[in-house]
Amino acid sequence: MPAQVPRGRPRSFDTEAAVERAMDVFWSRGYHATALPDLLQATKLSRGSLYAAFGDKHSLFLRALDRYIADALTRMDGELAARKDPVDGLRTLLAGYVDRTSGASGRRGCLLVATAMELAGRDTDVDLRIRRFFEAMEVRMAGALSRARDAGKLADGVEPSSAARILVCFVEGLRVVGKTGTTPSASQAVADALIERFIK
């Protein structure tokens, strides 16, 4: 009878909770400024446990970035759900961005935008994730705009995919401008004016 290979000890921590805590560190400090001791302190893991679970700092960062992207797309799917009025959904989406770019949240900025500024063009894994995220945003917005067109609510001459690209650029630009302390009322006024250009 062949000898049985002993199984490794099961993990005694919540992997997703550790990813979320690591995400907060990367979000606050940036990739390069985050050191291993910062991650060990935030996740409450030993060096060995962290490496066994995630591989290395870069792999953990990609897991954190994936978590951030998944959360953002899940939120967007709820805001732009097909059962909802598409124009109301787009207004809700923009209002959410205005809220997240105000106050302390706004000064913290967006993990994805910060990552793009720090690593894009130098990290192919990051490049792929950022590109796919923006494409996914654009597809969802274009879908809502197409439903608005089908309902007769889109202004003449507005093409859903082009308008979606404009909206993506707007909301991501809003994340950058939000770091300067812009007021929610000013941001909301611009968001409202933009939507008004697209609908009847």
Residues 51 and 89 in one domain: no
Q: What is the rounded CA–CA span in Å between residue 4 and residue 123?
A: 42
pLDDT score, position 53: 93
Q: In this structure, is residue 3 part of a structural domain? A: no
Closest CA to 164 of 133, 191, 142, 187: 142
Distance CA 69, CA 61 (A): 12
Asked if residues 160 and 55 have their Cβ atoms less than 8 Å apart, the reply is no
- Residue pLDDT tens, the chain, 200 long: 444 444 444 456 789 999 999 999 999 999 999 999 999 999 999 999 999 999 999 999 999 999 999 999 999 999 999 999 999 999 999 999 999 988 877 888 899 999 999 999 999 999 999 999 999 999 999 999 999 999 999 999 999 999 999 999 999 999 888 888 788 899 999 999 999 999 98
Q: Are residues 92 and 131 in the same domain?
A: yes
The pLDDT of residue 103: 81
Tell me if 102 is assigned to some domain.
Answer: yes
CA 13 to chain CA mean position, Å: 25
pTM over 0.85: yes
69 within some domain: no
Residue 38 belongs to domain with CATH number: 1.10.10.60
Give the whole-angstrom CA distance, residue 71 versus residue 96. Answer: 14
**CA 166 to each of CA 51, 142, 194: distance values in angstroms, whole numbers, following the listed order:** 41, 10, 9
Structural domain count, the chain: 2
Q: Which residue's entry shows tokens 């770091």?
A: 179
Please check whether residue 1 lies inside any domain of the structure: no
Parent domain of 193:
80-198
| Together in a domain, 99 and 21 | no
Task: State how far the alpha carbon of 158 is from the alpha carbons of 140, 148, 161, 164, in Å.
Answer: 16, 11, 9, 10
Say yes or no: 98 and 192 in one domain: yes
Query: Could you tell me if 104 and 54 lie in one domain?
Result: no
Q: Are residues 93 and 135 in the same domain?
A: yes
